[in-house]
Amino acid sequence: MKIAIATDHNGVEQKKEIIKILNEYEFLDKSPVNTSTDDYPDFAFKVANSIVNKEAEFGILLCGTGIGMSIAANKVKGIRCAHCSNLDQAFLARSHNNANIIALSYKQDLQEIIEMIRTFLTTSPSEEEKHHRRVQKIIDYERGTYNEL
């Protein structure tokens, strides 16, 4: 499984550790060089486009809070990026929302980050019709074909 990963200047060390610890996955590092003046949207767009272009199956984004990265990534058509701060959110992001990118704060404990990522990557989308229907509405809205109630 290929995973696109990136951080702004805030999470460089954590990104390196994630790649080292989760060595069962193949990583595409979309932020190989960071500077103190880099901007998180640039990296969010790189990871999101890697998924849209089918270079990677999933994405991981790190920044100060994970919020800015998730906002930027979700501007890319076809992306469902979930900002997560605990295991339940990581599980539900995949299970209920079929998210394809997880955005995290680099400030969290590294072990918590690793566990959230593992949970995110190993959780399958729910088979329940209601979750499929809800995700499909998001996809339809992006395509301009959503018929509001």
Q: What is the pLDDT of residue 46?
A: 98
Q: Is residue 149 part of a domain?
A: no
Structure tokens at 4: 């696109």
The DSSP bridge pattern shows strands 58-63 and 81-83 to be: unpaired
The C-alpha torsion from 52 through 48 and 34 to 7, rounded to 10°, is -140
Q: Is the pLDDT of residue 100 over 90?
A: yes
Structure tokens at 49: 């486009």
By residue range, what is the domain housing residue 100?
2-143
Q: What is the pLDDT of residue 19?
A: 97
Residue 131 amino acid letter? H
Structure tokens at 16: 């390196």
Q: Is the pLDDT of residue 82 over 90?
A: yes
pTM surpassing 0.85? yes
149 versus 106: which is more confidently predicted? 106
Dist CA 103 CA 90 (whole Å): 10
Q: How many domains does the chain have?
A: 1
Active site residues: 63, 96
Q: Is residue 148 part of a domain?
A: no
Q: What is the pLDDT of residue 147?
A: 82
Q: Is the pLDDT of residue 76 over 90?
A: yes
Q: Provide mean pLDDT across the span 32-47.
A: 95
Q: Provide mean pLDDT across the span 99-107.
A: 98
Q: Which CATH number covers residue 22?
A: 3.40.1400.10
Q: Is residue 70 part of a domain?
A: yes
Structure tokens at 77: 């058509």
Q: Provide mean pLDDT across the span 53-70.
A: 97
Dist CA 114 CA 19 (whole Å): 10
pLDDT digits (tens, 9 = 90+) for 113-146: 999 999 999 999 999 999 999 999 999 999 999 8
Q: Provide mean pLDDT across the span 4-23.
A: 96
Q: What is the pLDDT of residue 13?
A: 96
CB-based contacts of 9: which residues, under 8 Å, 6+ apart? Answer: 34, 35, 36, 37, 38
CB 74 within 8 A of CB 100: no
Q: Is the pLDDT of residue 149 over 80?
A: no
110 φ/ψ angles, rounded to the nearest 5 degrees: -60, -40
Task: Using DSSP, state whether 8 is helix, strand or coil.
Answer: coil
Q: Is residue 137 part of a domain?
A: yes
> What confidence category does residue 22 fall into, taking pLDDT thresholds of 50, 70 and 90?
very high
